[in-house]
Copies of this chain bind each other. A is one copy, B any other.
């Protein structure tokens, strides 16, 4: 099953985290691969790294459009380390029941990874595992091959009321 969480609202990442908890509860083995997330920054990572049956990889921790001094070339290189990892797992015997590919939609949108190459890997992986792909701006080609697509849509946001993001809530 191929699942896509997209849209401009909150909940894409937290829904994937909740899905990991659900799957681990059923005894599944889960592989989480994150892009554009700093390990020390996010509260959920402190809990997730303690859980059995979850392997956790992080590549391209900083996005070049968000962090000064990070070059797109370096980020493309790091994204391709993630792609190499996925290819390796796609060609190996089944190791995981579920893959969670965090913010890969962003990497696709910004052309850091090749869309056709990624779609082919996802198709191959989906023959033996479930896959969740998150991030805003999911490309149509990915939506076309997905079984379940949810748009997290912002209806009302406190930023508009002038309140800063709160630690433990927003990150």
Contact indicator B148/A158 (Cβ below 8 Å)? yes
A7 nearest in chain B by CB position: B153
Q: Is B21 a contact of A48 with CB atoms below 8 Å?
A: yes
- Cβ–Cβ contact B22 & A168, under 8 A: yes
A18: which of B13, B147, B154 is its contact (CB, 8 Å)? B13
CB-CB < 8 A to A26: which residues of B? Answer: 43, 46, 167-168
Cα distance, A21 to B54, chains bound together (Å): 14
Say yes or no: B7 contacts A25, CB within 8 Å. Answer: no
Return chain B residues, CB-CB under 8 Å to A47.
21, 24-25, 51
Docked Cα-Cα span, A14 to B5, in Å, equals 12
Q: Is the CB of B146 within 8 A of A156?
A: yes
Flag whether A155 is at the interface (Cβ < 8 A). yes
Interface string of A1-30 (1 = CB under 8 A from B): 101011101111111111101111110100
Chain B residue numbers with a CB within 8 Å of A167 are 26
Q: Which B residues are CB-close (under 8 A) to A156?
A: 143, 146-149
Q: A interface, by DSSP: helix, strand, loop or mixed?
A: mixed
CB-contact partner of A17 in B3, B18, B45, B46, under 8 A: B18
CA distance A164 to B6 in the complex (A): 23
Would you call A14 and B23 a contact (CB within 8 A)? no
Can you show 29 pairs from A to B with CB atoms below 8 A apart? A1-B163, A1-B169, A5-B11, A10-B148, A11-B11, A11-B150, A14-B14, A14-B17, A15-B18, A15-B152, A16-B18, A17-B17, A17-B18, A17-B22, A18-B18, A18-B44, A19-B169, A21-B44, A24-B43, A25-B44, A25-B46, A25-B47, A26-B46, A26-B168, A47-B51, A130-B166, A130-B168, A147-B156, A153-B153
